[in-house]
Amino acid sequence: MQRPEAQKRIAQLSSDLRRHNYLYYVKAEPEITDFEFDTLLKELENLESQFPDFITPDSPTQKVGSDSIGDFQTEKHQRPMLSLGNTYNAEELREFDARIRKALEIDTVVYSCELKIDGLAISLQYEKGALVKAITRGDGVQGDVVTENVKTLRNLPPKLNAGAPQKFEIRGEIFMHRKGFERLNAERAASGQALYANPRNVASGSLKIKDSREVAKRPLDILLYHYYGEDQMFSSHSQGLNEARTWGLPVPETSRVCKGIDAVIDFLKDWETKRHDLSFDTDGVVVKVDSISQQEELGFTAKIPRWAIAYKFPTETAQTRLLGISYQVGRTGAITPVAELEPVLLLGTTVKRASLHNSNEMQRLDIRVGDMVYVEKGGEIIPKITGVVLESRDSHTPVQLFIETCPECHTPLVRAEGEAQHYCPNTRQCPPQVVGKLEHFIGRKAMDIQSVGSELCETLYRAGLVKNVADFYDLTESDILRLDRMGEKSATNIIKGINESKMQPFERVLFALGIRFVGETVAKKLAFAFEDIDALSLADTEALIAVDEIGERIAESVIQYFKDPENQIIINRLKAHDLIFKAEKQETKGDELTGKVIVISGVFEIHSRDELKAMVEAHGGKIGSGVSSKTNFLLAGSGIGPSKLAKAESLGVPLLSETEFLALLQS
Ligand code: IVH
């Protein structure tokens, strides 16, 4: 490449990489994969090494991206928080090992191999056994002080065990388990909110919430991978971490000390498949020289340590043909384009479909039916289309236009200004929307009608028997018997289940109605704030937003719902069927616990946890979500986490067993 051309390309790459850094660290909404990012960065590194005079101090090769968002106080790290060199293949790992052996003039290097957790880096400072400061990586030099938020993490003990040094720093990764992520997304889906892309993005977003009480509700976790003591207590990295574990800190159990590079490669190969059984995402393995004196001898480059490297697990990419695009209609009417692909094998499974998300994404890819496309599957389970093989496109292939009418009911689609998603506005008659609403109504967290599943909702709708949620309660056994493959026994069972659901409390009924943005928690808040549906249906914006956690968007949606005469008809019919539309007066059985906050944790012998919760409330007490200085009792069952116990102990919160608790209520 000629100098002027190289200069132009360097400028372009630098500005692209800076933008991608911002999208990844600050917005937590990356547009490209790690692999694509690393490829661009490598290209820039290569060009800069050919034309070193074009290197600027703020080039992305010289600096790490910053996660700082300006909402928190920032503070300088005691030692810079560096990133790591990356490699995607074993060959480069062997070269890394060769460089180290040469520099240290030894034959075999001892490495610590650790899973690379896909979350966000954090530095913790401990003094006298207590966490005094938590700082995000930021730009590597200074980061955001998020101590209060980090203190909400359930697996960090409030007080360390004896033996911990007076003062030290330890670094690690904050992340979210896939289960917690899925639960959070299910809640968002239930209230019609946009879904989060992956656990890493939510973990990063959660840590940057200003209100720590909100952070406490997010299922975040932490694992620590780097200890820095004041004086050199340990001769190896792994020893420091093993000690830290005995102080009560969460240190991964999966790390291994490996002698020589062959053992390291065995470790990677092993985890390349085993990682899918983990409860969290890992995108590779970090290989570190274990001896601290050797680490010191090797030192750092401007950006990375010479004694460590990250091996990234391969994301598999394949090429296949786009056979067509189909469009799915969700419960809320949101239209999702889906790529129908010529079946292709990726990481052991056959991929036939991939989500295209929305019309913006289709435009960004400029994807057209008949194109050869790149499909990729990495840490995330859902395959994605990362690009089009433009060279193999036939020049006559027409530009792909988004559909204009609903594929199910042919109503013209709408798209609100500033929104990415198209919607079908025919909420009342569009079949998948109607069936989706029925499925939501019977759901476990809504009316919990277990005798009616998703399939039966669809059948009842197709048979013209149930067109809205009120129709469930008009069904008779003979209606059911007319359906295919239905016997007396199932018919009785189905009707029984439907009738039993009439006992569900108001907050569940309210959630079951499927009002947009009214998820489980919001439904509870509204039910208890307004006490009955009539008061709620008359509430104006002001009254609604006066309720804790209700904002204008939810208020607007509630008002719109009750404005609609057809919804009024449905509610009146449900009322006629004796569904509960009044919040049960929190039945009080006593006031032994008035003003007391009780945290319940563990497994109990006599009552279920839900029963115990109800008892606390019936006796005037409040349920606390985590042990804090405001907790009056910790009702502890078996299997309660040691960190909870330790926290209660350090705060002087008394423990109650189940029998002690029951005795207290008797007294
Ligand atoms: S060591 C100087 N160990 O990966 C040592 N990092 O690409 C630098 N990460 O910023 C970090 N698991 O956020 C290290 N076991 C592990 C890790 C790990 C995940 C993250 C960390 C770091 C990034 C580097």
Q: How far apart are CA 541 and CA 559, in angstroms?
A: 8
Residue with tokens 């896909």: 118
pLDDT for 442: 96
- Provide the pLDDT confidence category of residue 391 given band limits of 50, 70 and 90: confident
pLDDT for 174: 96
Cα of 308 to ligand 1 centre, how many Å?
Answer: 9
In this predicted model, what pLDDT tens digit does every residue of 146-196 receive, in sequence order? 999 999 898 898 889 988 999 999 999 999 988 888 888 888 777 766 667
Averaged over 548-566, what is the pLDDT?
A: 91
Ligand 1, atom 21, lies closest to the CA of 121
**Nearest of 75, 81, 47 to residue 63 by alpha carbon:** 81
In this predicted model, what pLDDT tens digit does every residue of 339-362 receive, in sequence order? 999 998 886 678 899 989 899 889
- Provide the pLDDT confidence category of residue 123 given band limits of 50, 70 and 90: very high
pLDDT for 65: 61
Is residue 285 within 6 Å of ligand 1 at its C-beta?
A: no
pLDDT for 646: 84
pLDDT for 423: 94
Q: Does domain 431-576 have CATH number 1.10.150.20?
A: yes
Residue 75, pLDDT above cutoff 60: yes
Annotated active-site residue in 8, 116, 133, 589: 116
- Provide the pLDDT confidence category of residue 113 given band limits of 50, 70 and 90: very high
Q: How far apart are CA 196 and CA 380, in angstroms?
A: 13
Q: Where are the beta strands (DSSP E) in 53-149?
A: 74-76, 85-87, 110-117, 120-127, 130-136, 142-144
- Provide the pLDDT confidence category of residue 293 given band limits of 50, 70 and 90: very high
pLDDT for 585: 67
Is residue 121 within 6 Å of ligand 1 at its C-beta?
A: yes
Per the prediction, the chain carries an average pLDDT of 89
Q: Which CATH class is domain 74-312?
A: alpha beta
The one-character DSSP state at 313 is: P
pLDDT for 306: 94
> Phi-psi category of 639—alpha, beta or left, where left has phi over 0 and alpha has psi -120 to 50?
left
Is residue 135 within 6 Å of ligand 1 at its C-beta?
A: no
In this predicted model, what pLDDT tens digit does every residue of 452-474 receive, in sequence order? 999 999 999 999 999 999 999 99
pLDDT for 10: 92
Assign 3-class secondary structure to 523-591: HHHHHHHHCEHHHHHHCCHHHHHCCCCCCHHHHHHHHHHHHCHHHHHHHHHHHHCCCCCECCCCCCCCC
The whole model's pTM is what?
Answer: 0.53
User: Percentages helix, strand, coil for the chain, rounded to the nearest 5?
Assistant: 40, 20, 40
∠119-121-125 over CA atoms, to 5°? 140
Averaged over 261-287, what is the pLDDT?
A: 91
Q: How far apart are CA 483 and CA 489, in angstroms?
A: 13
**Domain boundaries in the chain?**
3-54, 74-312, 317-323+339-392, 431-576, 597-666
Averaged over 130-142, what is the pLDDT?
A: 92
**Nearest of 267, 258, 266 to residue 289 by alpha carbon:** 258
In this predicted model, what pLDDT tens digit does every residue of 223-255 receive, in sequence order? 999 999 877 789 999 999 999 999 999 999 999
Ligand 1, atom 22, lies closest to the CA of 83
Residue 549, pLDDT above cutoff 80: no
Is residue 77 within 6 Å of ligand 1 at its C-beta?
A: no
Cα of 171 to ligand 1 centre, how many Å?
Answer: 9
Residue 629, pLDDT above cutoff 90: no
Q: How far apart are CA 435 and CA 447, in angstroms?
A: 15
pLDDT for 64: 61
- Give domain 597-666's CATH number out of 2.30.30.830, 3.40.50.10190, 3.40.50.300, 3.30.310.50: 3.40.50.10190
Per the annotation, the verdict on 502 as an active-site residue is no
Q: Higher confidence at residue 410 or residue 620? A: 410
Percent with pLDDT over 70 in the chain = 96
pLDDT for 586: 57
Tell me the residue type at 298. L
In this predicted model, what pLDDT tens digit does every residue of 11-20 receive, in sequence order? 999 988 888 8
Tell me which of 83, 255, 300 to substitute to probe ligand 1's pocket, judged by most ligand atoms within 8 Å of the beta carbon: 83
Is residue 312 within 6 Å of ligand 1 at its C-beta?
A: no
pLDDT for 517: 86
Is residue 118 within 6 Å of ligand 1 at its C-beta?
A: no
Averaged over 379-399, what is the pLDDT?
A: 81
| Superfamily per CATH, domain 317-323+339-392 | Nucleic acid-binding proteins (2.40.50.140)
For the CA of 255, the nearest atom of ligand 1: 15
pLDDT for 610: 77
pLDDT for 437: 94
pLDDT for 466: 97
Residue 54, pLDDT above cutoff 70: yes
- Provide the pLDDT confidence category of residue 576 given band limits of 50, 70 and 90: very high
Q: Which fold has domain 3-54?
A: Helix Hairpins (1.10.287)
Which range in 62-76, 194-208, 548-562, 609-623 is most confidently predicted, on average pLDDT? 548-562
Is residue 96 within 6 Å of ligand 1 at its C-beta?
A: no
Ligand 1, atom 9, lies closest to the CA of 116
